[in-house]
């Protein structure tokens, strides 16, 4: 999206968002707004958008402008500053074809929330497409967050050998709900067809973010984790953090999957911090 597409949006809102995402300082935005006002007066009321001016000054890159616009266009989506920062770190860790990132935690809602935040952040700051997959069959919630039914979803796609991502409010982000939990669901996630499904996703998407749920107590979640290039541990703050992290590290080592990061979830709060 070009910077000129901001011409009909509140300029101060663009600047505030750029500051909130850490791209520029509030002082830099204030100076740019002052210069914009001077140019408007000199040019008879005509001036470019604040995004273009910040880019002209070398303070914003085109990718950062796109990220700010994406944030503005999808304010109802779970895009947070912590999510942006963690996504940027994961981009460094998962370069090239290392693009399947799992989110795991004993509290299902925490892992799902973190997965949604990271997927949205990657979709906003990344050039390619992003897929968010709900592989937590027992506490599936991602379909509700993005306005889709629970099924058909991952279970049905694994059984039928299909790969279909459902659209979201972000054009670069698709989501796959968990699907129906029945007697064949666990077997579906552990099947060779499921492995082929992941391979098909790798071809179509730059990043695949997988909500794994409780990998320590759900065998099918551990199998899904084994197909990831790295796993982020999502721990509930104050709830057996160190023992749970050690157990998860041991399990991932057995699966030969690296630990990509640790997130501490605060109950009732969207913000998260890296441990």
The string of pLDDT tens digits covering residues 153-179 is 999 998 887 788 899 878 889 999 999
In terms of residue numbers, what domain contains 31?
3-73
How large is the average pLDDT for residues 178-197?
90
Final residue in a domain of this structure, among 18, 40, 73? 73
The token pair at 224 is 């899904």
Final residue in a domain of this structure, among 73, 89, 112? 73
Confidence label for 268 from pLDDT (cuts 50, 70 and 90): low
The token pair at 25 is 């300082």
Helix, strand, coil share (%) of the chain residues, nearest 5: 50, 15, 35
Report the predicted TM-score, pTM, of the whole model to 2 decimal places.
0.74
Number of domains in the chain: 2
d(C-alpha 272, C-alpha 275), whole Å: 10
Candidates 9, 28, 5; CA nearest to 18 is: 28
What are 74-121's pLDDT values in tens digits? 667 777 778 888 888 898 888 877 899 999 998 888 999 999 999 988
Shared domain check, 102 and 235: yes
Shared domain check, 108 and 214: yes
pLDDT the model gives residue 48: 67
């Amino acid at each position: 999206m070009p910077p000129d597409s901001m011409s009909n949006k509140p300029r101060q809102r663009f600047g505030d968002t750029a500051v909130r995402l850490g791209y520029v300082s509030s002082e830099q935005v204030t100076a740019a707004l002052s210069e914009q006002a001077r140019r408007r007066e000199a040019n008879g009321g005509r001036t470019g958008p604040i995004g273009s001016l910040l880019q002209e000054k070398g303070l914003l890159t085109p990718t950062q402008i796109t990220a700010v616009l994406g944030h503005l266009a999808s304010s109802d989506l779970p895009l947070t500053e912590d999510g942006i920062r963690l996504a940027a770190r994961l981009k460094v860790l998962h370069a090239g074809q290392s693009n399947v990132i799992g989110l795991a935690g004993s509290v299902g809602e925490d892992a799902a929330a973190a997965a949604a935040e990271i997927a949205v952040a990657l979709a906003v700051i990344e050039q390619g497409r992003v897929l968010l997959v709900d592989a937590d069959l027992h506490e599936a919630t991602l379909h509700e967050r993005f306005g889709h039914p629970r099924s058909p979803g991952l279970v049905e796609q694994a059984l039928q050998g299909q790969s279909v991502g459902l659209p979201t409010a972000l054009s670069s982000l698709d989501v796959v709900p968990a699907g129906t939990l029945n007697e064949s669901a666990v077997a579906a996630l552990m099947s060779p067809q499921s492995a082929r499904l992941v391979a098909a996703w790798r071809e179509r998407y730059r990043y695949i973010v997988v909500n794994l749920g409780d990998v320590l107590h759900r065998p099918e979640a551990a199998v899904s984790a084994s197909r990831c290039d790295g796993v982020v541990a999502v721990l509930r703050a104050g709830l057996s953090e160190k023992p749970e992290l050690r157990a998860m590290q041991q399990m991932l080592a057995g699966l030969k999957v690296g630990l990509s990061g640790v997130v501490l979830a605060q109950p009732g709060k969207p913000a998260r911090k890296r441990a």
